[in-house]
Amino acid sequence: MFGLIARVVASGEVTDDGSSDAGQGNPEDWRTTPAHQSAAIVHAEVADAFHRQLAYLGELDTKGSFVVAGVVAVLVAAVALGHVPQGPHAQDLAGMAIFFLLGALVGGCFTWWPRQAGDVPNPRYTRERHWNAIAEHVLRDITDQRVHQYEGNLRVVRRKVLGLRLSIFCLPLGVIFGFASLMISGH
């Protein structure tokens, strides 16, 4: 019987004497009253966006790795040929090929360059600040932290994308100029 009364009081329904205790200033309500539904939805959406952003940062590093591997493969193939281009135009094209391949290598390394990408919330801060807080306030604070860190991580994303675009632009040009240099010099 007492368990049934406790569940009815916690759910905010009227008890046998016609009163309702839920939400009326009872200091224990934060344990039984869930956060507003919109707060939970916003928190879940922000958390998902934040985790997608962190995964995207990892994907950019992976793409940078493939670009650098491609540049290294092309440079190794050029060295393995052991051919020095003959003629002024072939040497110019070879010089341009080396320039673009080095540009692709620099872009790939720029993509790999370590940058501080934040991950929130800080467990110690959350525990110390929100030990007995209302659930909606906790969700609001954690969501605010994630939004702030998400915006801070956008700078990291932009820089990694810039390095990747530079690499993807330079690599094909280096290959084309290198191939043209070989064709002009007769190999």
What is the reported pLDDT for 166?
94
pLDDT tens for 5-63 read: 333 334 444 444 444 444 445 555 544 455 667 777 777 888 888 888 889 988 999 99
Surface-to-core class of residue 104, CB atoms within 10 Å of its CB (0-12 exposed, 13-18 middle, 19+ buried) = buried
User: Which H helix or E strand runs over 88?
Assistant: helix 88-112
Distance CA 27, CA 15 (A): 19
Q: Are residues 1 and 84 in the same domain?
A: no
Residue predicted with more confidence, 47 or 169: 169
Q: Are residues 1 and 46 in the same domain?
A: no
Q: Are residues 115 and 125 in the same domain?
A: yes
**Res. 169: pLDDT tops 90:** yes
Q: Are residues 26 and 40 in the same domain?
A: no
Q: Are residues 21 and 60 in the same domain?
A: no
Tokens of 49: 């966006």
pLDDT band of 69, cuts 50, 70, 90? very high
Distance CA 9, CA 187 (A): 88
The total domain count for the chain is 2
Q: Are residues 12 and 99 in the same domain?
A: no
**Res. 78: pLDDT tops 80:** yes
pLDDT band of 187, cuts 50, 70, 90? low
Residue predicted with more confidence, 140 or 69: 69
Across 131-145, average pLDDT? 80
Q: Are residues 59 and 105 in the same domain?
A: yes
Q: Are residues 79 and 146 in the same domain?
A: yes
Q: Are residues 121 and 48 in the same domain?
A: yes
What is the reported pLDDT for 128?
75
Q: Are residues 20 and 40 in the same domain?
A: no
**Could you give the percent of the chain with pLDDT greater than 70?**
78
Q: Are residues 28 and 40 in the same domain?
A: no
Range of the structural domain that residue 22 is part of:
1-33
DSSP 137-151: HHHHHHHHHHHHHHH
